[in-house]
Structure 1
């Protein structure tokens, strides 16, 4: 893991997320690309002047965030970018910079308290191919010693899906407990675990619930993990969860960092 992208807004969550990203990058030996994307309004008149103002404000936001964090020894590259859509700009940047991980706030667009994931972070999960680490409000970094991974199907189309999880496990000497949720629509083949996945887990926890999320809630309190890990697939509960621009807390919530890996099966 070499390159971490941290997109930030101007809200109160940004500084906390940036500090978490710095602490995490320091632990794994990565550098940070800190970006703020501003949109140019489609209006007639002096567009150039408006763009100059927006760029100036964008740079001021990043400068203010940097002042409020402990940079440690982490290399931080800052950039303000103009884009008509934030997500398209971030997708292009992720490919250009060969980003290994995106670290983002749960809410970076001023969403209300009933929302777990705001629109921008939701779109990052839905529309990028890069793993995303989502940081809830006020969560501070600590060594990731215990990871609760949850899934419905144990099959993986590509073992590369697990690369980042394995890197975290090796860095922090983490234990990974796998919660496999049996739902009414579960296929028998879904119970078979991928061999690579099986080799990295410390404990398999089978549970039967109406939904994957109910199974997660049941064990979060018991396991008390430092991180929750899920895989976004083309089918299943989490695919449906990310379909909307925003995710309501009633549908999904987490008070610990949430790692979303990108699976293709």
Structure 2
């Protein structure tokens, strides 16, 4: 994960700064580069407006630079990245040229009055991008990852490189990784088959019978006390249904620890 992208301004400024510091600390361990992103609204290109748009881009870059002054870069290369107009379109375009390995988003406030785990923009990014996503709780402070809980329904993974982010985390931090397989009502015998690469990563295995993957996760979180929760987002199944809508309600899913969502695990 050499190129890590973190959108700023999707939540309150203090939360964005806390998330940015987490990303920097995380990138330092991985030897990665951080792209700090904010969107600016580009004006229609006509007459002398290109020069105006250039000015707007410069203003956006300065805004990012101001936020960077209150974090400790710790020697990490942090690049201000103003992107034009729509974040959902701009990030995939940037990814084609620079191969982003990870997007880091912030969860909504843990205030009980806020019913959402992810807001409209963050939920849309998670739903529409094929880039792996790491979701950080509000004001979560980075610490080395010693325990990982990976929750799956099926061990079948057909797409190449799906596991690359978690493999890099395991190689960097050498954590213990427990695999929790949640057997729901539509569990199939073939779901017991494990991709060889996945089988070699885990230090222990446990199965659970629950109505949804999320219920199985909740049941075992306290028992395992992990520093990172990892899930596979498939086109079908619980997580596919969960992110059909852009916003994600806390009653449907919530994590108080960093959540790594791996993409492309389709079947």
TM-score under structure 1 length normalisation: 0.91
Cα distance between partner residues in 2 of 1:199 and 1:216 = 22
RMSD of aligned Cα (Å): 2.3
Partner of 2:8: 8
Q: Does 1:27 align with 2:26?
A: no
Moved over 2 A (4+): 38-42, 46-61
1:66 aligned to 68, 78, 86, which one? 68
Cα distance between partner residues in 1 of 2:160 and 2:50 = 48
Q: How do 1:181-192 and structure 2 match up within 5 A?
A: 181-192=182-193
Contact 1:150–1:230 (Cα < 8 Å) also in 2: yes
Residues 149/69 of structure 1: CA separation in 2 closer, same or farther (3 Å cut): same
**1:72 aligns to what SS in structure 2?**
coil
Cα distance between partner residues in 2 of 1:232 and 1:64 = 35
Partner of 1:178: 179
Partner of 2:170: 169
Partner of 1:240: 241
Partner of 1:251: 252
1:165-184 deviation digits (Å, cap 9, x = unpaired): 01100100011111100111
Cα distance between partner residues in 2 of 1:122 and 1:50 = 32
TM-aligned CA deviation for residue 59 of structure 1: 3.1
TM-aligned CA deviation for residue 117 of structure 1: 0.8
Structure 1: which 5+ runs fail to align?
Answer: none
1:63-86 deviation digits (Å, cap 9, x = unpaired): 232011100010111121212x21
Contact 1:102–1:132 (Cα < 8 Å) also in 2: yes
Q: How do 1:95-110 and structure 2 match up within 5 A?
A: 95-107=96-108
Partner of 1:82: 84
Query: In terms of mean alpha carbon deviation, does 49-58 or 202-211 score higher?
Result: 49-58
TM-aligned CA deviation for residue 51 of structure 1: 5.4
TM-score under structure 2 length normalisation: 0.90
Cα distance between partner residues in 1 of 2:59 and 2:250 = 32
Structure 2: which 5+ runs fail to align?
Answer: none
Partner of 2:132: 131
1:28-86 deviation digits (Å, cap 9, x = unpaired): 101111111123478xxx97798578546533431232011100010111121212x21
Cα distance between partner residues in 1 of 2:160 and 2:42 = 40
Query: In terms of mean alpha carbon deviation, does 62-71 or 223-232 score higher?
Result: 62-71
The alignment of Structure 1 onto Structure 2 pairs a total of residues equal to 260
Partner of 2:262: 261
Cα distance between partner residues in 2 of 1:234 and 1:117 = 19
